[in-house]
């Protein structure tokens, strides 16, 4: 059902893009915005969302925009890896509520992983401390510049 619903222009990421909701940004250009996940599953959990498009998920995202957007996803993934020096890095994306999607504007998750450290729960739990998220963002930003 949620896989093919109409795009809701009031979704939280649309509000972030419109500047109506705050976010801790690490990268922004005309193609994409990357910002810290406020319910991080691991330290450095970053989201990359496409701009200037109304796409709920990867399936309805215009094909001609995929290349430029995925370049930004890779740019931010590399920056997160350099800044956080994890043992591994998850780059993932969910399509539709049954697949785990909770915000219906396309986004990729970039989640550092460390050996022996479990991931925190997805899209829930305790909201991160904004000061801590800002310090992590400060580590990541130099690597996307
Ligand atoms: P998904 O469940 O794949 O749609 O991912 C949505 C992600 O957005 C989750 O990891 C949430 O923790 C995160 N999230 C929700 N609201 C915000 C927000 N206002 N700022 C940053 N991240 C958010």
Domain total for the chain?
1
Name beta bridge partners: 111: 90
Is residue 31 scored above 60 in pLDDT? yes
- pLDDT tier for residue 1 given thresholds of 50, 70 and 90: low
pLDDT at 72: 98
Point out the ligand 1 atom lying closest to the alpha carbon of residue 37.
22
The pair of three-digit structure tokens given for residue 89, joined into one six-digit string: 């890095």
pLDDT at 123: 85
Q: Which active-site residues does the annotation give?
A: 107
Supply the range of the domain harboring residue 129.
26-143
- pLDDT tier for residue 2 given thresholds of 50, 70 and 90: confident
The pairing of beta strand 88-92 with beta strand 25-28: unpaired
Which residue's alpha carbon is at the smallest distance from atom 17 of ligand 1? 38
Which residue's alpha carbon is at the smallest distance from atom 11 of ligand 1? 123
Structural domain contains residue 85: yes
Is residue 114 scored above 80 in pLDDT? yes
Structural domain contains residue 40: yes
Structural domain contains residue 111: yes
Q: How far apart are the first and last CA of the chain?
A: 39
For residues 34-58, average pLDDT: 98
Structural domain contains residue 42: yes
Give CA–CA dist 59/9, Å, rounded: 18
Structural domain contains residue 4: no
The pair of three-digit structure tokens given for residue 130, joined into one six-digit string: 């904004």
Indicate whether this model's pTM tops 0.95: yes
Structural domain contains residue 10: no
Structural domain contains residue 19: no
In the reported structure, the alpha carbon of residue 11 is separated from the centroid of ligand 1 by a whole-number distance in angstroms of 11
In the reported structure, the alpha carbon of residue 102 is separated from the centroid of ligand 1 by a whole-number distance in angstroms of 7
Give the CATH number, domain containing residue 45: 3.30.428.10
In the reported structure, the alpha carbon of residue 37 is separated from the centroid of ligand 1 by a whole-number distance in angstroms of 6
Structural domain contains residue 17: no
Q: Which residues line ligand 1 (CB under 6 A)?
A: 12, 21, 23, 37-39, 47, 94, 100-103, 123
Q: What is the pLDDT of residues 58-110, one digit of tens each?
A: 999 999 999 999 999 999 999 999 999 999 999 999 999 999 999 999 999 99
């Amino acid at each position: 059902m949620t896989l093919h619903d109409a795009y809701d222009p009031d979704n939280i990421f649309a509000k972030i893009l419109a500047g109506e909701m705050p976010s801790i940004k690490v990268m922004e250009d005309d193609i994409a915005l990357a910002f810290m996940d406020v319910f991080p599953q691991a330290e450095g959990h970053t989201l990359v969302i496409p701009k200037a498009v109304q796409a709920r998920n990867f399936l309805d995202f215009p094909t001609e925009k995929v290349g430029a957007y995925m370049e930004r996803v890779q740019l931010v993934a590399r920056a997160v890896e350099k800044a956080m020096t994890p043992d591994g890095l998850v780059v993932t994306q969910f399509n539709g509520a049954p697949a785990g999607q909770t915000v219906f504007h396309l986004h990729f998750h970039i989640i550092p992983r460390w050996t022996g450290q479990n991931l925190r729960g997805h899209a829930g739990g305790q909201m991160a401390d904004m000061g801590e998220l800002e310090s992590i963002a400060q580590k990541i930003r130099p690597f996307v510049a």
